[in-house]
Structure 1
Amino acid sequence: MTHRQGIVTMVLVTLLWSIAGVVTRQLDSAASFEVTFWRSAFNALALGVLLAALRGPRAVWATLRSGGRTLWLSGLCWSVMFTAFMVALTLTTVANVLVTMALGPLFTALLSRVVLQHRLAARTWIAIVLAGVGIAWMYGNELLRSDARALLGIGVALAVPLAAATNWTVLQYSRRRGAAQEGGGGDMLPAVLIGALLSSAATLPLAAPFQATGSDLAWLALLGALQLAVPCLLCVAVSRVLHAPEMSLLGLLEVLFGVLWAWLGADETPAPSVLAGGTLVLGALALDAALGLRQGGAPTPAPDAKLHSRA
Structure 2
Amino acid sequence: MKLSHNRAVLVMVAVTLMWSIAGVVTRHLEHAQRFEVTFWRSFFTVLSLLVILPWFQGREVFRRIGRAEAALWISGVCWCGMFTFFMLGITMISVANVLITMSLGPLLTALAARIFIGHRIPERTWVAIVVAGCGIGYIYGSQLTKGASLTGTMVALAVPISAAANWTVMQHAHAKGKDVDLLPAVLIGAFLSALIMLPLALPFQASAFDLTLLAGLGLFQLAIPCTLAVICARVLKAPEVSLLGLLEVVFGILLAWLGANEVPGPNVLAGGTLVIGALVVNELIGWRQRR
In structure 2, C-alpha distance between the alignment counterparts of 1:187 and 1:198, rounded to whole Å: 17
Q: Which residue of 2 aligns with 1:44?
A: 46
Q: Which residue of 2 aligns with 1:294?
A: 288
Q: Which residue of 1 aligns with 2:192?
A: 198
The answer on 1:23 being equivalent to 2:25 is yes
Q: 1:5 to 1:76 in 2, by over 3 A?
A: farther
* Root mean square deviation of aligned Cα: 3.2
Q: Alignment length, in residue pairs?
A: 288
Q: How far off its partner does 1:214 sit? A: 2.0
Q: Which residue of 1 aligns with 2:34?
A: 32
Q: Which residue of 2 aligns with 1:160?
A: 159
Structure 1 contact 105–249 (Cα < 8 Å) conserved: no
Q: 1:158 to 1:272 in 2, by over 3 A?
A: closer
Per mean C-alpha deviation after superposition, the further-off stretch among 22-31 and 271-280 is 271-280
Alignment of 1:184-263 (within 5 A): 185-237=179-231, 253-263=247-257
Per mean C-alpha deviation after superposition, the further-off stretch among 72-81 and 94-103 is 94-103
In structure 1, C-alpha distance between the alignment counterparts of 2:139 and 2:5, rounded to whole Å: 30
After TM superposition, the score normalised by the length of structure 1 is: 0.77
In structure 1, C-alpha distance between the alignment counterparts of 2:79 and 2:155, rounded to whole Å: 15
Q: How far off its partner does 1:35 sit? A: 0.8
Structure 2 contact 140–150 (Cα < 8 Å) conserved: no
Q: Which residue of 2 aligns with 1:77?
A: 78
In structure 2, C-alpha distance between the alignment counterparts of 1:146 and 1:7, rounded to whole Å: 42
Alignment of 1:174-193 (within 5 A): 174-178=173-177, 185-193=179-187
Could you list the runs of 5+ residues in structure 1 that have no partner in the other structure?
A: 298-311
Structure 1 contact 23–219 (Cα < 8 Å) conserved: yes
Q: Which residue of 1 aligns with 2:135?
A: 134
Q: 1:239 to 1:198 in 2, by over 3 A?
A: same
Per mean C-alpha deviation after superposition, the further-off stretch among 97-106 and 186-195 is 97-106
Q: Which letter does structure 1 place at the counterpart of 2:21?
A: I
List per-residue Cα deviations over 1:40-85 (Å, max 9, x = no partner): 011111111111110012x211221111100000001111111123
